[in-house]
Amino acid sequence: MKNETPFDPTHSPWLATYTSAGIVAKLQTPQHASLAELVQERCAHFAAEQAARRLKHPAFSCVMPNGMNGRLSFSQVNAQSDAFAGYLRQTLGLKAGDRVAVQMPNCLAYPVAAFGVLKAGCVLVNTNPLYTESEMVHQFNDSGATALVVMDMFADKLPGVLLRTGVKHVVLARVDAFFPVIPGAVIRGVQKVWSRVLPPVTVPYVRLAQALVQGRATLVATPAKTYWQDINHDHLAALQYTGGTTGVSKGAMLSHGNLLNNVNQMLAMGATHMEEGRECVLTALPLYHIFAFTANLLGFLSIGAHNVLIPSPRPVQNLQRAVENFPITWMTGVNTLFNGLLNEEWFTAYPPRELKASIAGGTALHSAVAQRWVEVTRTPIAEGYGLTETSPVVSFNPLRGTPRPSSIGIPAPGTELRLMGDDGSAVAPGEPGEICVRGPQVMQGYWNNEAETAGVLKDGWLATGDVAVMEPDGFLRIVDRKKDLVLVSGFNVYPNEVEDTIAQLESVLEVAVIGVPDDKTGEAVRAFVVPNPDHRDQLTTEQVLAHCRRQLTAYKVPRSVVLRDELPKSPIGKVLRKTLKAEAQAQVR
């Protein structure tokens, strides 16, 4: 990689597109010094708007599958997160920079805990609630977390985890936190008696409600601002764990500056379709994931949107009441979520009337899904691209203008981007190369892991491991993950392309493509197909193959097609190709 090359606009052909798409090319310097200040100032601003009756909605609503809901106003968000910051710093005696793990599905306790951690000047460690005991142990030990805020439903793993980690303080949250009394009691009752999801807690803990009472009492002597007023852009805000792909997950160090800048980059992208204080965003993706964390939690909060949190988006029917009861204007999601909604009759018959736009990320958005989404909702859906290491937005499709199928769009304002070949120099125009990114959103490195950091980060340039081609006007198209490439007799086959082709079939609900070892060709393409239940028993593997033969060059056509009932997925709904690969490998043995 060439280093220290000054930013050269002639290598940034996308700059011209900004103007026509209504995007401000120059990235605004964040007006807040820290995320804590952002939360404090924005919530205070919108609380005042609310008091003046210029704004009618709360900051957050949490909607259960049966329609029961609770809400947090902007002033409550500030008051409760201040109290939690006080609890962490005064009651528990944590210091600035101490790591606090937050392990919850979407619920009203999440913003209180996460913002509380940030206002305390501590570092947020987002943890997936579905983690196994050993994954938790690794993440807590690696991050050195000393306190944990966890949803009571997931407390069963705590005894084993606490013994093997440095976590000393446990705060228990509940999914019905901040709900009105009766619905809260009903949800609680159902959890306890009916679904029996509340395990007995055998370790010492404090309930979030108690912690907030204790914390609030400390604010008189020491206001929460004391803890965050000296934080600036270079301070570490979050350790976001990623990269199970290489085996061990690593903590990406995201600073306050990284996240603040990325919020601005994301808002620049959506500005044409956003109005301050007027949006209502459906947050079905988990907030512990960087996409929803930056876009939904931070981004939409900062424009005073009403954030509708869904604790569990699966089955997709769980979203029905939320979509019916709230005037959703924005949605963020992954391919599987949009696809799932498009297969629900209540959604396609009555798509949200107020919807303005949606953004898709996390994984490739199939063009068939994108096209149907536009047909059904009559609103644009823009695919973006990013990774945990970049807070996450790197590029996006402008919402204005003709949609470009299968494109991940153009780099976000303030982002430098190059496609690099294996030899370490930029590839010729139109050739596939690895995406390398430099910009204010690129992480500081991996926590306590210089070797891994050095492997991906050089002179501020992050090597993403994703291969893309760039069109003359700067639009990018991902060809695939470098490591997912299937090498058939020396030819590169990109699973995404094959998946996209198979997904065009109406009788296909979902599809995943991987490479499996093959004696003759080295690797062979295998497709896993989930038939659409509406076209039950109509799909044959022969049909899939025939379709592929019509659409694809011979070497790209799958050697084998496997029909399945479902595909393995990550918590946010990314299809896990590595699990399929492992399954295939186990079969070979």
Contacting positions for another protein (CB under 8 A): 63-64, 66-69, 180, 182-183, 186, 317, 321, 324-325, 345-346, 349-350, 536, 541-542, 545, 559-565, 587
Q: What is the 3-state secondary structure (H, E, C) of 515-536?
A: EEEECCCEEEEEEEEEECHHHC
> C-beta of 565: minimal distance to another protein in Å?
5
As given in the structure block, the two tokens for residue 295 are 């876009």
For 401-421, letters b (16+ CB in 10 Å) and e give eebbebbbbbbbbbbbbbbbe
Given the structure tokens 């909607």, which residue do they identify? Answer: 63
Closest to another protein by CB, 160 vs 568, is 568
| Closest-CA residue to 496 (of 481, 517, 474) | 481
| Closest-CA residue to 469 (of 540, 407, 547, 380) | 407
Q: How many contiguous H segments (helices) and E segments (strands) does the chain have?
A: 20, 26
DSSP conformation letters of 225-266: HHHHTT--TTSEEEEEEE-GGGSS-EEEEEEHHHHHHHHHHH
| Closest-CA residue to 98 (of 170, 167, 173, 37) | 167
Cβ distance 364 to 335 under 8 Å?
A: yes
> C-beta of 492: minimal distance to another protein in Å?
22
Closest to another protein by CB, 19 vs 325, is 325
Cβ distance 391 to 369 under 8 Å?
A: no
Pairing between β-strand 306-309 and β-strand 410-411 as defined by DSSP bridges: unpaired
- Preceding omega of 392 cis (within 30 degrees of 0): yes
Closest to another protein by CB, 359 vs 524, is 524
> C-beta of 541: minimal distance to another protein in Å?
4
> C-beta of 179: minimal distance to another protein in Å?
8
Closest to another protein by CB, 414 vs 558, is 558
Closest to another protein by CB, 4 vs 566, is 566
DSSP conformation letters of 84-100: HHHIIIIIS---TT-EE
> C-beta of 349: minimal distance to another protein in Å?
5
Given the structure tokens 């903590």, which residue do they identify? Answer: 251
> C-beta of 519: minimal distance to another protein in Å?
12
Closest to another protein by CB, 221 vs 349, is 349
As a whole number of angstroms, the distance between CA 394 and CA 118 comes to 24
Closest to another protein by CB, 321 vs 481, is 321
Cβ distance 87 to 211 under 8 Å?
A: yes
> C-beta of 430: minimal distance to another protein in Å?
35
As given in the structure block, the two tokens for residue 143 are 């991050």
Task: Sort 129 into a burial class: Cβ within 10 Å, 0-12 / 13-18 / 19+.
Answer: middle
> C-beta of 68: minimal distance to another protein in Å?
4
Closest to another protein by CB, 400 vs 559, is 559
> C-beta of 309: minimal distance to another protein in Å?
14
Closest to another protein by CB, 346 vs 491, is 346
> C-beta of 512: minimal distance to another protein in Å?
13
Closest to another protein by CB, 69 vs 76, is 69
Task: Sort 513 into a burial class: Cβ within 10 Å, 0-12 / 13-18 / 19+.
Answer: buried
> C-beta of 312: minimal distance to another protein in Å?
16
Closest to another protein by CB, 374 vs 563, is 563
Cβ distance 400 to 441 under 8 Å?
A: no
> C-beta of 209: minimal distance to another protein in Å?
20
Closest to another protein by CB, 52 vs 586, is 586
User: What is each CA distance from 63 to 133, 319, 354, in whole angstroms?
Assistant: 29, 8, 18
